[in-house]
Structure 1
């Protein structure tokens, strides 16, 4: 029974009931969908379910999300004897030879393979000999996944990736980042002889499945393509076919990239087929081999491990185009031109899920059952709502105010509107203690508002990490500006004394996806399955509501948390978007004066 593998001695409201429902449904459906709010304890429920259906592989979006799962697994291993678990994330981030070197994962794997096959990596040699029990012991005493990786290389002299992968093959439960679950090739780096069909998969942050590009895509800058051409000339003396192909991509990307919106490059103009891709990959492998031979002739194993060859990343990104469900887009980021090769059909998601014996999708905002059936094309899914089974609801801990004088609609964007947004934000900064998280529909919109604030606080950019925010945030609070759907709006957990530090979430505009040619392609793909109105509703209303609810979930993570939520756009009054959100709008502020009065009231009587 699943309860036997529950990591805790007692259950939070709704957990026992959800497990009972899962136990009833798991034999009837290959896909279970769990909708549960932040603070419900989804991880403990997932572990109990996965252990009941082991072997299980639990996918998380980022490395930072591994440690909470390990914490519960460690607790379970003390409660139930014989429980074995492991974890896996990017091999290049674990490699003790790399230290702080930055290298593309695809590039690293070739370095790693060559060093292993030539017998030059002592850490890999040791990983073949280290007993699994020694790795288990390190997991049992490590504070987090980072500490575990350091201890394996330092105390055992072993490669963390291959040590943990070996342990994984004998474990009932393994935690891994998304690529190792959604890519069969990467899955095989952990399990070279096993079939995914033998595994039960847990997909955390399942709302990500609504956007194929968030999982199935690769981005390369034109500067990396230029570097690839130089590498071909340096190590091979040139290759006319590859150089012509790469120069053609450079030219087309430069012509199509105008701003930060994705613009499609016509496949027919690229002249890329299977033979061209195979040739480019072979050239990349030869360039890499010659580069490493040159380094290893000097005996520098560490330098060889970190040697970057841009052509490897470029060729493997282009190889995605062998699948007709992928397209090429170009955009500008500042002065740089970038290419994004991404899936534009949701069948890539359902195809990945179908690899496994069964799957559990979890999120506070998962896609609807209708969406799963009609867009993902998965029939017979079982939908479980923890709120209907007795879970604590965060909505009672939220005061919601809608501002009818604001809108991020394109036709209304102007210096006056940006000024008005900044004035509303200054009100919450003045009267609300703690962290105030301000969520914007785009970087451009955010910059226009933030530039008008006297006290700007912390501002996210495309390269910002969660660690950057944690290091800089003032314990007394302040403003944090982030883009909807990004790392900070969905991945941060700012806690002090077991309470969330975020006391206000200001949604500065409806975070509809920016209309570009990628969205156009997704729309065309959806239109094969649903009507035009339904496709528009899914792409815009459902996606925007998910982003809003994810941001709100950063503030209210438990029964002791309270927060003010400001819906800063009159369009939130539309029933088309509110039907997905489930939020009750408490009050409507028609102007800045009314808004200030309401904020003062919430600050004094509710927070």
Structure 2
């Protein structure tokens, strides 16, 4: 009956691929936790007879495919095979595609059981256990061995056809990548050095921190060697992870250059690595404001029925950026976003945000773990990962939102919500009573720990909301759902509180408290994510000092740090330090006159486009007002708080070749990094700040934690993050080996040896620092 097996698949994975049908349904349905599911399975098994076999291993082969798994239970006396599923709430609300998946699983197990024991028929039973009431609902049907074998054969044929197609694709992909050529006649200066370091890291399975200057082509210089290493080092997937949308576009442009360029387009498509761009759901949604289920969205109705054809059409094309994915999805009447989520399983190169690997619920990390992929990670603008990761592993509760929900919540939830409200108010009262005159005006206060009674009330409220919505789905509202999600996220983090986090309260007025769990040291959460990858390359123009990133990101002990030689020469950039200016808070008013004088003098000496960076909008506005009053003849434009994308684009469009003017911006903001203004679109930058984070209660607590863990509190909290922002802003000026410009650092502290040690080494070559 069988041939030599060359493919293996678990029963769940087989059915998930071949047997889903019906609508996409992402309505909120409270589900049991993993621990509750395990306990539920044990409870069902304990209720069965002595001969009941729990967790029964079964396997079988069809042609080249071996299918295996563990059936939840079998009663040999009744010839009854059970598949146990725990749930919460109303069973009838379970999505049809889930029910179809459950029946498929028990049928496959039934086929394997009949084979193994020579049975002519078996009773198949889905056991649905309500974990709240512990009540079982049994759905049963008898099936003959012949019909189960036919079902098994159909699923296996579908899977084998796909598996053989995938194997052929991988062979063609690897052959193509084995002959991959660099798409330009020569590497840029520094680009070959970077590419060699990346290939070395991929070959040895190590982590690389690569500091490489802007303008050498880092995106292409990292993708090319990682793709080259892919077949040689048996990498299953490459993930190019970015911090912002422009980074995705640069990666896709580079990948487009690396695609095979053959006369036979169809054959080239088969050989080319499959490239997927992952975008946020709100950016991909065709029906904004519509719920993700078949009753509301036409692209969700029948999604799983049409998914196989859409998936097959996609793999015939192999290029799945946002536009191409949308075209495929709409041609098959399926949701573009969820088609992209499905294709993440089959893409060779995925381009997306860093959250897809490093977040608590990261899609790519989850798939890699489930499928045991060997993954090569490329992390662009990696200097931002510390702050991004802190945000991923922090949570906040808003009392104002809670009060709104409490007023409109169903009566059944009044008691647990009232209890949570009392505990919340008790925390606020204690904070106010213990506040001193030294407390900050914004009402920011640290707590020694998360109060146990508040944590308990929050867990109880979350459980009560979950149970109620399971029984009464009609009571769900957006705000109640959001409160539940926030509470669950908060409770998960509360279970892992340590010296890497702190708890705080911000009082913004009566009934407007915010309670936060803030991650300070992401290393404890990120270290397992780096370990899960076969190879990791983190690259940026600013990755100095290396120990800062090793410590805070939890990089492996054998991580290699490399600084790519800059193709730029000191003669291209004049760096001046104004030692006579202090931008300290107490000196801000006095600093305005010399800052404005320096800017106007430099502009008169060399008219053109400049950017001027300040530590805050308040400081920016004061400098702008004085500058415009004293120099109305010099064009000036300014960044404003909360600028929309169109407004930011309009700001940058003012920097035209041959134009003139000074743009006022905030250091660390939208125009301080990721902005490319080559040639004379930008010829200089004024930086009127060291970029130091504010001296406040939070940052002093952060400093204390970092001192205790690493002995580097002051540097890790203030000096290094500030200088990263400065170097990024200054990096807007020189973008290519032909650019020339000036950077004026306006603060006496820039002359300190400890600060200058953090500046790019090529700036100092030739003695270009002037005071």
Do Structure 1 and Structure 2 share a fold, with TM-score over 0.5? Answer: yes
- With over 3 angstroms needed to count, the CA separation of the structure-2 counterparts of 1:167 and 1:346, relative to structure 1, is closer
2:739 to 555, 558, 561: 561
- Show the counterpart of 1:20: 196
- Show the counterpart of 1:318: 490
- With over 3 angstroms needed to count, the CA separation of the structure-2 counterparts of 1:451 and 1:17, relative to structure 1, is same
Is 1:74–2:253 an aligned residue pair?
no
- With over 3 angstroms needed to count, the CA separation of the structure-2 counterparts of 1:146 and 1:267, relative to structure 1, is same
Is 1:216–2:389 an aligned residue pair?
no
The CA deviation string for residues 407-444 of structure 1, in whole angstroms up to 9 with x for no partner, is: 1123423x222344344344456665554222223344
Decide whether the 8 Å contact of 1:507 with 1:566 is kept in 2: yes
Is 1:369–2:546 an aligned residue pair?
yes
Decide whether the 8 Å contact of 1:56 with 1:200 is kept in 2: yes
Decide whether the 8 Å contact of 1:29 with 1:381 is kept in 2: no
- Show the counterpart of 2:184: 9
Is 1:50–2:230 an aligned residue pair?
no
**In structure 1, C-alpha distance between the alignment counterparts of 2:700 and 2:464, rounded to whole Å:** 35
2:750 to 566, 572, 577: 572
2:611 to 437, 440, 443: 437
1:359 to 523, 528, 536: 536
Decide whether the 8 Å contact of 1:460 with 1:481 is kept in 2: yes
The CA deviation string for residues 115-169 of structure 1, in whole angstroms up to 9 with x for no partner, is: 69999823854772343354467884x8xx5544654555543322222222221
Decide whether the 8 Å contact of 2:571 with 2:768 is kept in 1: no
**In structure 1, C-alpha distance between the alignment counterparts of 2:716 and 2:378, rounded to whole Å:** 24
**In structure 1, C-alpha distance between the alignment counterparts of 2:247 and 2:308, rounded to whole Å:** 30
- With over 3 angstroms needed to count, the CA separation of the structure-2 counterparts of 1:161 and 1:576, relative to structure 1, is same
The CA deviation string for residues 298-334 of structure 1, in whole angstroms up to 9 with x for no partner, is: xxxxxx9x88854145324523333213323455899
> Cα offset for 1:71?
1.4
Decide whether the 8 Å contact of 1:349 with 1:376 is kept in 2: yes
- Show the counterpart of 2:301: 122
- With over 3 angstroms needed to count, the CA separation of the structure-2 counterparts of 1:485 and 1:77, relative to structure 1, is same
Is 1:521–2:701 an aligned residue pair?
yes
The CA deviation string for residues 434-462 of structure 1, in whole angstroms up to 9 with x for no partner, is: 54222223344334434434279444455
- Show the counterpart of 1:480: 663
**In structure 2, C-alpha distance between the alignment counterparts of 1:396 and 1:566, rounded to whole Å:** 15
- With over 3 angstroms needed to count, the CA separation of the structure-2 counterparts of 1:470 and 1:329, relative to structure 1, is farther
**In structure 1, C-alpha distance between the alignment counterparts of 2:352 and 2:217, rounded to whole Å:** 19
**In structure 2, C-alpha distance between the alignment counterparts of 1:386 and 1:269, rounded to whole Å:** 49
Decide whether the 8 Å contact of 2:191 with 2:216 is kept in 1: yes
TM-score by length of 1: 0.78
- With over 3 angstroms needed to count, the CA separation of the structure-2 counterparts of 1:233 and 1:72, relative to structure 1, is same
- With over 3 angstroms needed to count, the CA separation of the structure-2 counterparts of 1:248 and 1:423, relative to structure 1, is farther
Decide whether the 8 Å contact of 2:299 with 2:335 is kept in 1: no
Task: Kindly report which structure 2 residues correspond to 1:59-458, keeping only aligned pairs within 5 A, or say none.
Answer: 59-79=241-261, 81-98=271-288, 112=292, 121-122=300-301, 124-125=303-304, 128-132=307-311, 134-135=313-314, 140=319, 147-148=323-324, 150-151=326-327, 154-187=330-363, 191=367, 194=370, 198-211=374-387, 212-218=389-395, 222-232=399-409, 236=413, 239-247=417-425, 258-259=440-441, 263-269=445-451, 271-273=453-455, 275-283=456-464, 285=466, 293=474, 309-312=481-484, 314-319=486-491, 320-324=493-497, 325-330=500-505, 340-347=516-523, 348-376=525-553, 378-387=556-565, 391-393=566-568, 395-413=570-588, 415-428=589-602, 433-454=607-628, 457-458=636-637
Which stretch of the first structure deviates more once superposed, 400-409 or 567-576?
A: 400-409
The CA deviation string for residues 499-550 of structure 1, in whole angstroms up to 9 with x for no partner, is: 472222111111112122332233223223443xx43233333222211111
Decide whether the 8 Å contact of 2:310 with 2:329 is kept in 1: no
- Show the counterpart of 2:726: 548
> Cα offset for 1:86?
0.5
**In structure 1, C-alpha distance between the alignment counterparts of 2:584 and 2:736, rounded to whole Å:** 34
**In structure 2, C-alpha distance between the alignment counterparts of 1:464 and 1:338, rounded to whole Å:** 25
Higher relative contact order (CA 8 A, sep 6+): 1
> Cα offset for 1:382?
1.3
Query: In structure 2, the residue corresponding to 1:323 is in which secondary structure?
Result: coil
Decide whether the 8 Å contact of 2:374 with 2:534 is kept in 1: yes
Structure 2 stretches lacking a partner, 5+ long: 1-173, 262-267
**In structure 1, C-alpha distance between the alignment counterparts of 2:543 and 2:533, rounded to whole Å:** 19
> Cα offset for 1:367?
4.1
Query: In structure 2, the residue corresponding to 1:400 is in which secondary structure?
Result: strand
- With over 3 angstroms needed to count, the CA separation of the structure-2 counterparts of 1:341 and 1:197, relative to structure 1, is farther
> Cα offset for 1:342?
2.1
- With over 3 angstroms needed to count, the CA separation of the structure-2 counterparts of 1:243 and 1:132, relative to structure 1, is same
**In structure 2, C-alpha distance between the alignment counterparts of 1:528 and 1:237, rounded to whole Å:** 43
Task: Kindly report which structure 2 residues correspond to 1:499-510, keeping only aligned pairs within 5 A, or say none.
Answer: 499=679, 501-510=681-690
**In structure 2, C-alpha distance between the alignment counterparts of 1:561 and 1:261, rounded to whole Å:** 48
> Cα offset for 1:59?
1.1
> Cα offset for 1:360?
0.7
Decide whether the 8 Å contact of 1:7 with 1:72 is kept in 2: no
**In structure 2, C-alpha distance between the alignment counterparts of 1:276 and 1:500, rounded to whole Å:** 60
**In structure 1, C-alpha distance between the alignment counterparts of 2:411 and 2:736, rounded to whole Å:** 58
Larger Rg: 2
**In structure 2, C-alpha distance between the alignment counterparts of 1:527 and 1:482, rounded to whole Å:** 32
TM-score by length of 2: 0.63
Decide whether the 8 Å contact of 2:287 with 2:297 is kept in 1: no
Query: In structure 2, the residue corresponding to 1:564 is in which secondary structure?
Result: strand
